[in-house]
Amino acid sequence: MPCPEKFKESLELFGVPSSIIDEINNGYEKLVSSSKIQEKSLYFFRAMVILDKNIDNDLKSKIMDFNACCKSGVRDKNVKLHAKKISALTLPDKIRTIKKIPNMGNPVLRDDGCIVTGIYYRVDEKFTCVCPNFHRLKKQPAVSLTYCWCCAGHFRYHYQNALGITLKTKQVKSSPLNSSGRDPCVFVFEQAE
């Protein structure tokens, strides 16, 4: 989950023009991580609309990947411990073991060398976004796939630690936020050169 403070900093860090930053932050100057979920979801919804209208895909993906959450703590420790246990395995075998780590998706190695993962969280009959900025809303808005590069960055970080390779997010293929719950999160990763 991108926190508002880090997201605002990243806009400057990645050289987003100040006029666009001002448009994104207008009315949300005091928004912080402890602000109400409804406020944060509205902010990020609007921010993605503005980014999609004004910024190229490469820069948007870099900004959101930079904002990836949960890169420390218990999950990070568990993944790194798991990586030590499986270090002698082949890449396909390592990928199969990731499925055994709780909340790490369902990665599959494609014939083209890309790793595709699906994250299948459901509430009733619909897939749901687990990002704290949107998860607890009774009705999740139709948010741009741009937002989901953050979550992809989270999985990319942990997969590359588990697998011992450097990955790059190639595509955010689908998301519950973008599909009104019809589709799961699906991310495509490729090895970085």
Looking at per-residue pLDDT, the higher value among 121 and 4 belongs to: 4
pLDDT tier, 175 (very low <50, low <70, confident <90, very high otherwise): very high
Element (H, E) at 189: strand 185-191
What DSSP string describes 132-187? TTTTT-SS-----GGGGHHHHHHHHHHHHHHHTS-EEEEEEEE-HHHHTTSS-EEE
Over residues 129-160, the pLDDT tens digits come to: 888 777 666 666 678 999 999 999 999 999 99
What is the average pLDDT across 54-81? Answer: 90
Global pTM value: 0.90
Write down the pLDDT at residue 1.
67
Q: Does the pLDDT value for residue 92 go beyond 80?
A: yes
Over residues 4-43, the pLDDT tens digits come to: 999 999 999 999 999 999 999 999 999 999 999 889 989 9
Looking at per-residue pLDDT, the higher value among 166 and 142 belongs to: 166
Which among 102, 104, 103, 111 is positioned nearest to 160, based on CA atoms?
A: 104
- Kind of pairing, strands 108-109 and 167-174? unpaired
